[in-house]
Amino acid sequence: MTLNGPEPLPYLTSAIDYHFYLDRQLAPIADAILALEGSSLALLMDKQMGLFE
């Protein structure tokens, strides 16, 4: 998945949409694991982003 939608790998012209993969593939898995600790990926990422403010 790219910033301009799906593109076949041999014809890739746009940048990869990393937020798409984070939200759709990594977050559900991370949230399932982090729920055991009473946390979530969003909560952890919010704390990380606060370091740069």
Q: What is the pLDDT of residues 1-53, one digit of tens each?
A: 999 999 999 999 999 999 999 999 999 999 999 999 999 988 888 776 555 55
**Domain membership flag for residue 4:** no
Q: What pTM was estimated for this model as a whole?
A: 0.67
**Domain membership flag for residue 23:** yes
Q: How far is it, in rounded angstroms, from Cα 33 to Cα 30? A: 5
Residues spanned by the domain of 42: 17-50
Structural domains counted in the chain: 1
Q: Which residues of 4-40 are buried (b: 16+ CB within 10 A; e: fewer)?
A: eeeeeeeeeeeeebeeeeeeeeebeebeeebeeeeee
**Domain membership flag for residue 1:** no
**Domain membership flag for residue 12:** no
Question: Both ends of the chain: CA-CA distance in Å?
Answer: 30
